[in-house]
Homo-oligomer: A and B are copies of this chain.
Amino acid sequence: MERVLRDAGALSTGAIVSESHRGASLSIGLSAVIIAATIDEPRVLTLRLGREPIEALPSGPLEIEHRTLEAGLRAWVERQTGQKLGYVEQLYTFGDRDRVETGETQPGRALTVAYLALVREARPGGAADAVWQNWYRFFPWEDWRSGRPAALEPIEEGLSRWSAQASTEAGRRLRKERVGLALSASWNDELVLERYELLYEAGLIDERRRDLGCPASGGGPTFGVSMAADHRRILATAIGRLRGKIKYRPVVFELMPPAFTLLQLQRTVEALSGVRLHKQNFRRLVEQQGLVEETGGISAATGGRPARFVRFRREVLLERPAPGLRLRAGRRLLSP
């Protein structure tokens, strides 16, 4: 403990990257998926790394100074992007040996503890090359707000080809089943990771080819912009989790400004979940649940009739057990 206090000031000197007696290296990384939302787009904060820039999530190794994993994460993010984090939750710990190229000569393992953070302002991160990106750049097939994404056509083709390629009959059936579930007629917005994994396994994702050591190009199209290491997989995990969570926890408000209109709130939810919602029903839900209260202000009419400004009613947290926007995308609105 004294040790801790003494070291607290030192920067970056105490990374825990250690050698086991068998000569394999082990490092523990902390990665952050930092989400914000502008008017109409969900954003994720990325760093541009390298000469031919590849995008990465803010991350860094766990250090001895860090009292908790979360504290370590906050420190790294601030150091790299200048962003202060508010809402933070642990996402998942990735540790497969095969999926991450350590870039080392020795066999090694990289354990990554990934976190999801929600922030309010989307002002470009202070330091380095931190930039806010529309997350659909990485997952173009996840945005159904203006109808079925065009990318899904070739993706389905690729996936069904992949299904057919399984060596056994059982394998083919299993693959078809997985594809059917992930891309079923009734679009399930939360299956982001499942879909990513399918595309990855089917070789429709750049990272897959990279991990296999394949030539940069070859073997049909790939989809979405790629990211460093397994960061796109982490991002997929985060999006899926967030899409699920807004339905039973009032986390969207972590992304909203202090005062906002109901339409702004709806647009944000739509941006995150990737589907359009029925306006009147959305308002009914939000108001019935007592999620917001009027601020008294009135919006500087952007289009038509001016709207009331509202703010999040923190008290709901004490009242209802699971206050959220259990949105169920209007059926009509999904395929217009």
Residues of chain A whose beta carbon lies under 8 Å from any beta carbon of chain B? 1, 3-4, 13-22, 24, 26, 28, 62, 64, 66-69, 90, 92-93, 95-98, 107, 109, 111, 113, 177, 180-181, 184, 186, 188, 317-318, 321
Contact = CB atoms under 8 A, between A and B. Distances in A.
B26 A317 contact: no
A334 to B, nearest CB: 13
A177 B318 contact: yes
Nearest to A111: B28
Contacts of A62: 95, 109, 111
B18 A14 contact: no
B22 A14 contact: yes
A188 B317 CA distance: 13
B96 A67 contact: yes
A20 B18 contact: yes
A67 B99 CA distance: 10
A95 B113 contact: yes
Given A20-B64, A96-B68, A107 B186 contact: no
Number of copies: 2
B68 A95 contact: yes
Of A18, A177, A184, A317, the most chain B CB neighbours within 10 A belong to A18
Which 3 A-B pairs rank lowest in CB-CB distance, beginning with the nearest?
Answer: A18-B18, A69-B95, A93-B93
Given A19-B19, A68-B95, 11 more contacts: A1-B107, A3-B24, A14-B20, A28-B111, A62-B109, A64-B109, A67-B96, A69-B96, A69-B111, A95-B113, A177-B318
A16 B109 contact: yes
Contacts of A67: 96-98
A111 B1 CA distance: 17
Contacts of A107: 1, 3-4, 64
A66 B17 CA distance: 19
B180 A318 contact: yes
Contacts of A98: 67
Given A20-B18, A26-B28, A181 B318 contact: yes
A28 B69 CA distance: 13
A188 B321 contact: yes
Contacts of A95: 62, 68-69, 113
B18 A26 contact: yes
Given A16-B109, A177-B318, A317-B181, A97 B24 contact: no
Nearest to A21: B18
B20 A24 contact: no
Contact of A20 (B1, B16, B22, B93): B16
Contacts of A64: 20, 22, 24, 107, 109
Contacts of A14: 20, 22, 24
13 contacts: A16-B24, A16-B26, A18-B21, A20-B64, A24-B64, A26-B26, A28-B111, A62-B95, A62-B111, A64-B107, A180-B318, A181-B318, A184-B321
